[in-house]
Amino acid sequence: MGLFNLFRKKNMSNEIQEYLAKGAVLLDVRTLAEWNEGHSEGAKHIVLATIPTNVEEIKSWNKPVIAVCRSGGRSGQAAQFLQSHGVDVINGGPWQNVDQYLVKK
């Protein structure tokens, strides 16, 4: 196992699919400009910097959450923060990772 393998994120596809099957809410924490360039249908948009002031809203959804962003860094921060506040959340990484599993209407 090389040094770079330590930083490789595990395959999240099974966990993402499990969360979606449980009715998870997709939480996109990117900037408004990034959101406007494209996002998953039905996703909620709350910019990372405002997550602390929106914790109660997120908790009120009463659903598991999949946090996403452009590359997985910001969604990882959001997931860690939300977990510490009792939210059932995973880091879905880039929004396209989760988008591919969504049922298109």
pTM of the model as a whole = 0.88
pLDDT (tens digit per residue) in 60-94 = 999 999 999 999 999 999 999 999 999 999 999 99
CA atoms of 66 and 40, how far apart (whole Å): 12
Encoded tokens for 60: 């009120």
Q: What is the CA radius of gyration of the chain?
A: 13
Kindly write down the DSSP assignment for every residue of 52-64, as one continuous string: GGGHHHHHHT-S-
The answer to whether the beta carbons of residues 43 and 36 sit under 8 Å apart is no
Q: What's the average model confidence in pLDDT over 22-28?
A: 97
3-state secondary structure of 89: strand
Q: Which residues pair with 26 in a beta bridge?
A: 66
Can you point out the beta strands (E) in 49-103? 65-69, 89-94
